[in-house]
Structure 1
Amino acid sequence: MPVLTRGAYAEPGTSLAFKTGDWRTMRPVHKHWAAPCHGACPAGEDAQEWLARFQEGHPREAWETIAHINPLPAVTGRICPHPCETACNRTHYDSPIAIHALERWLGDQAILNNWSFPGAQGVAEPAAVAVVGAGPGGLSCAYQLARRGHKVTLIDALPEPGGLLRSAIPMTRLPRDVLDAEIGRILDLGITFKPHTRLGDEADLARLRQEHRAVFLAPGIGLAKNWSVGGQVPTDHRPALELLKEFIAHGKVPTPASVIIHGGGNTAVDLARVMKRAGVAEVHLVTASGLPGPDTEPGDILNVVPRELHEAIEEGIIFHPHRTIQRLLMRGSKLMGIEMVSLRKLPGASGRKSRVAFEGTETILHADMVIPAIGENVDPTGFEALLGGAPYFRPADEWGRLPGHPDLFVGGDARGDRGTAAGAIGDGRKAAEAIDLFLAGQEPVHQRRPTLPYDHLNMAYYEPAPRREPPVLPVEQRTDSDEIEGPLPDAEARAEANRCLSCGSCLACDNCWTYCPDNAVIKTIEQAQDGSHYVFDYEYCKGCGMCATECPCGYIVMEEDH
């Protein structure tokens, strides 16, 4: 042991003799947070993870990272409202990452280059599982089960798989060759698809349960809700989803001089745009929700893809936010117009907010046709006993398990609380995991990571960079067949991926290793690609916090040292 004096030492190993870590009261630790985009994704994608692969120059690995969770990225990249972008921490700095455009770019590359799905671990004892409904929820569940090695039978009442993706989303938003390519890759995993098979007619739930170890129910919602205004219903009453399906199947839509669509959501906006392009001079959309803006609470914004809303306004759709129809103005059996009234959300006696009509705000709006777009319920045919008169399958836990029916799982719109293709995909994935564990006699366990807040980032290490926006057809060039939003050019896609802040995950920037005044951060011989290649030597770390302060992405935090 060296003898301490006031002089300096230059003897080998001298500095290692004094365990300066004994002075420490706080110590640095690695904390792998969830990025806000991950926490907000209904499908469960970790955008930060696949963006990191993209940044490193490995687009196929980035796509495979998505495909482990979501087998339809070229679809969701086009139609998802992408709450991940709203949640993105970069919103507080300049503008959010264009995650939807990058997801679409990777999905399109997979189709173009015929990339196959990444392999998965098979099960020791494959089981027969039935999936009812070939929409996004059913396709997701069938995909995850097939990758695990189970024998999956997918049934649907329609002649082709896809559900509302195929029957109710205009080609301007989702080209059918893209949909066919992604669904075809899923079915190629060995899934048996049975079209024209409607539960209650060609198939029986009791028999499905006898012939299969588990059944996943994702029939969607196709039964229009009852609609009237004070008991009045126009003689030409047609629900929005029915008209939209008819247009997609046959290319025809009513063309009155003016029309009012009552409701909100993508179905309402899609139909409004279709009717406008078909020649309807005035298309009004009356909705109880609000438009994006400083005066609208986040939970009260019209539930549509933001870019679709912007395009609809460009095309001349007239929105009437925070309004509802109070009275139909009829001349005999012919509609002449409506009386609208303003709505506001106010707290009631229980403290819970509800929409209240304001007397004195009535407005007359002339129109030749009114179309309700207020949503749909589950068609009870074949499910009567399970539904018990309810409009949806409830209650189900987060894994889609129905109480009292251990072999039955539900997901998608039929749960009544999803409303997006990404949400249905997430339901299918989680149900497949639960089914796999159920067949093995085990219980699913959900592991949640806390989400990294913006103020935990060190933005001094990031530079402002403009968001790359996909090209959009001018209004005068938009038709009912050509896709309106185009792909990002390759170079633009790579530049946009580089804007990711890597929230909560190591950037391998070397800041902790460089700035540590005690050389208490050791970098391993392996190439530093994540935090596991940086090791804290607590014998010498004094807990100064320099590494945590200078970590750009919040991966290092200080905790009390006991």
Structure 2
Amino acid sequence: MGKPTGFLEYVRSTNPMRPEEERVKDWDEVYVLRDEQTCQEQGARCMDCGVPFCHRGELMQGGASGCPINNLIPEWNDLIYRNRWREALDRLHHTNNFPEVTGRVCPAPCEAGCVLGINEPSVTIHDNERTIIDKGFENGWVVPEPPEVRTDKKVAVVGSGPAGLSCAQQLNRAGHNVTLFERSDRIGGLMMYGIPNMKLDKGVMQRRIDIIEKEGVVYKTSTEVGKDISAAELKNEFDAVILTTGATKPRDLPVEGRGLKGVYFAMEFLHANTKSLLDSNLEDGKFISAKDKKVIVIGGGDTGTDCVGTSLRHRCESVAQLEIMPKPETDRNRVSNPWPQWPANLKTDYGQQEAIALQGTDPRTFSVMTTKFEGNEAGELAAIHTVEVEWVDNGNGGKMPKAVEGTEKRTEADLVLLAMGFLGPEDPVAEQLGVERDARSNYKAEHEVYTTNVDGVFAAGDSRRGQSLVVWAINEGRGCAREVDKYLMGDTVLP
């Protein structure tokens, strides 16, 4: 694939990032595209590897390896190299409803499975994907594709994140009449309000949302199922109901002082910020501001990074990030963490890079646990109390954190953001429909089947599998659409 000797001739070159000091002054995307010649050279690095692992998505040792939506990566890498961009776009759209999203925010498990990555830097699959779709929009190749024939079947999709949107688009392409319900005022779920604008520009998201609407999907925004309309009404009105509500129940930190003013869930912070940015360019003041505050983010994942980057753009006084897990190794351990497993080495994302540039040090502290929030007489957050931990055997084959005596610390803080992950979907819809839950409180439905215990009700995405990646949500949305089409028609034409 690509140029037979390309991987020997060209070194890996990713999309460049704007300078930290420049990008923290605005909400524009942090990455910019490479020039076209560099893009073609990067496509040429794709090897004729015989058995490509990049597009075979699976879980290995708890992490994803390869693309969960089975993108035809070697094919469109070859087409990039040969300057056949329109054909590359067609191959990309064959498996992916939102390449402009995955090409920006996906952590690229495809690159973890790249055969070249065994002993050289892997192919820039993630950036190649974004280049193809951005070029497609730039040239007007991405247009609505409404179905030629309509069925008489009506389908309700609850939740407009990546699983819901991809499921809705696929079912609409099969000719069904699809209505998508979203409780927020805009379509997109976490892609709209959970991921900040500097990582995924909302104009990029909105143009795809508009295309899906022009294809025939009906949007019902500001409509919360279970509240504004009962789940029972939905089941009576539609031939099938699909639950793609996401895992929106945040993990809390029930320590002393949790109720103080100044302690918030990360999504309260990020959602309000993006909504205010879109509504008024932050002029309406309807968001939690980090300006001139000492900010502490608890949680070391992507959401925590987004909180760091958002706080810096607010002009916070300082920002720190606490993580209870041990610090990963700087370099990949090829004995305990070999290819093609997801590389579990330390990664420094855009938010940490910005904090290092502005504050001089990495904002992260590892192996530390919060024990208490301290407030002032007005009930406002004043400080956070922490202790270092070591991970010891819990007697059941796992590990548990143990406080290290003498490492207690008090740190002044004005704003704490809890970014510790999510515990599953919220309750009302499942309760009203009588949908069973699994041991982790997710909607109980088998992967690749998606049927719940209630006839005609399906579940997909994070609400079924738990908090996961955008690509797994797209995988489940597309897969669920196939199963719903079979349920409605006895067979399916969907890929």
Q: TM-score, normalised by structure 1?
A: 0.66
1:293 equivalent among 330, 344, 360: 330
Cα shift readout 1:112-157 (whole Å, capped 9, x = no counterpart)? 1222469799899563221111111111001111222222111212
- 2:161/2:246 contact within 8 Å kept: yes
Looking at structure 2, the residues matched to 302 and 381 of structure 1 have their Cα atoms a distance apart, in angstroms, of 40
Q: What is the aligned-residue RMSD (CA, Å)?
A: 3.5
Deviates more, 1:288-297 or 1:176-185: 288-297
* Offset at residue 302 of structure 1 (A): 9.2
Instruction: From the superposition, tell whether residues 232 and 130 of structure 1 become closer, same or farther in structure 2 (CA, over 3 Å).
Output: closer
**Contact 1:392/1:416 (<8 A) preserved:** no
Please tell me the residue identity of whatever aligns with 1:38. Answer: R
Match for 1:136: what amino acid? P
Shift of 1:370: 2.2
Deviation at 1:241, TM superposition (A): 0.9
**Aligned residue for 2:138?**
112
Give the Å deviation of 1:443.
10
Aligned residue number for residue 409 of structure 1: 458
| Residue from 221, 229, 234 that aligns with 1:208 | 234
2:331–2:346: 8 Å Cα contact kept in structure 1? no
Pair 1:366-2:412 in alignment: yes
Report if aligned partners of 2:55, 2:70 keep a CA contact under 8 Å in 1.
no
Q: Show the 5 A alignment for 1:15-414.
A: 33-39=51-57, 40-116=66-142, 127-230=153-256, 232-250=258-276, 251=282, 252=287, 253-289=289-325, 290-291=327-328, 293-294=330-331, 306=349, 309-316=352-359, 318-330=363-375, 332=377, 333-376=379-422, 377-384=424-431, 385-386=434-435, 392-399=441-448, 401-414=450-463
Residue deviations 1:51-86 (CA, integer Å, cap 9, x gap): 233233321222222212211111221111112122
Question: For residues 346 and 477 of structure 2, what CA distance do their matches in structure 1 show?
Answer: 22
In structure 2, the CA distance between the partners of 1:34 and 1:211, relative to structure 1 (3 Å rule), is farther
Tell me, what secondary structure is at the counterpart of 1:383?
Answer: helix
Tell me how far 1:244 sits from its aligned partner.
Answer: 1.4
CA displacement at 1:95 relative to structure 2:
0.9
Change (3 A) 1:256 1:415: farther
Number of residue-to-residue matches in the alignment: 417
Q: In structure 2, the residue corresponding to 1:382 is in which secondary structure?
A: helix
CA offsets per residue over residues 413-440 of structure 1, 9 Å max, x none?
A: 3235243222211110111112122234
The 2-side partners of 1:47 and 1:408 are apart by 34
1:35 is aligned with what amino acid? F
Question: Judging changes above 3 Å, is the alpha-carbon distance between structure 1 residues 273 and 442 closer, same or farther for their aligned structure 2 residues?
Answer: same
Change (3 A) 1:388 1:426: closer
Paired residue secondary structure (2:364): strand
Please list every run of 5 or more consecutive structure 1 residues that lacks an aligned counterpart in the other structure: 1-30, 447-562
Contact 1:378 / 1:391 at 8 angstroms: preserved in 2?
A: no
**Deviation sequence 1:440-474 (CA, Å, 0-9, x none):** 44699x9xxxxxxxxxxxxxxxxxxxxxxxxxxxx
Return the offset for 1:183.
1.8
Aligned to 2:15: none
Q: Gaps (5+ residues) in structure 2?
A: 1-48, 58-65, 277-281
CA 341–82 in structure 1, closer or farther in 2 if over 3 Å, else same: same
Look up the equivalent residue of 2:78 and give its one-letter code. Answer: A
Would the aligned equivalents of 2:321 and 2:364 in 1 still touch at CA under 8 Å?
Answer: yes
Q: Find the aligned partners of 2:268 and 2:346 in 1 and give their Cα distance.
A: 20
Query: 1:320: Cα distance to partner?
Result: 0.8
The change in CA–CA distance for 1:209 and 1:335 in structure 2 (over 3 A counts) is closer
| Shift in CA distance, 314/83, structure 1 to aligned 2, threshold 3 Å | farther
Matches within 5 A, 1:507-526: none
1-structure distance, mates of 2:313, 2:467: 30
Q: Which has the larger radius of gyration?
A: 1
* Alignment TM-score, normalising by the size of structure 2: 0.74
**Which amino acid in the other structure matches residue 128 of structure 2?**
L
Structure 1 271/93 Cα, relative in aligned 2: closer, same or farther at 3 Å? same
Letter aligned with residue 299 of structure 2:
G
Look up the equivalent residue of 1:293 and give its one-letter code.
T
CA distance in 1, matches of 2:348, 2:97: 21
Whole-angstrom CA distance in 2 between matches of 1:220 and 1:399: 17
Residue 70 and residue 85 in structure 1: after superposition, are their counterparts in 2 closer, same or farther (change >3 A)? same
Matched residue SS, 2:56: helix
Structure 2 CA distance, aligned partners of 1:406 and 1:357? Answer: 49
- In structure 2, do the counterparts of structure 1 residues 311 and 279 end up closer, same or farther at CA, with 3 Å as the change threshold? closer
Q: Aligned equivalents of 1:269 and 1:370: distance in 2?
A: 14
Q: Distance in 2 between matches of 1:170 and 1:228?
A: 27
- For 1:304 and 1:138, the matched residues in 2 are separated by 30
- Matched residue SS, 1:324: strand
> Contact 1:129–1:213 (CA<8 Å) still a contact in 2?
yes
**8 Å contact from structure 1 (residues 136, 165) kept in 2:** yes
Counterpart CA distance in 2 for 1:423 and 1:389 is 19
1:415-430 to 2 correspondences below 5 Å: 415-430=464-479
1:242 Cα deviation after fit: 0.4
| Partner AA of 1:259 in structure 2 | V
What SS is found at the alignment partner of 1:188? helix
State the 1:373 CA deviation: 1.6
- Alpha-carbon distance change, 120 to 234 in structure 1, aligned in 2, over 3 angstroms: closer
- In 2, Cα distance between the equivalents of 1:325 and 1:302? 24
Aligned equivalents of 1:327, 1:124: Cα separation in 2? 58
Say if 1:416 and 1:327 are closer, same or farther in 2 by CA, change over 3 A.
Answer: farther
Distance apart, 1:179 and its partner CA:
1.1
* Range that drifts further, 136-145 or 364-373: 364-373
Give distance in 1, aligned partners of 2:163 and 2:298. 27
Letter in 2 for 1:379: E
> Given that residues 291 and 316 in structure 2 are in contact (C-alpha distance below 8 angstroms), is that contact kept between their aligned partners in structure 1?
yes
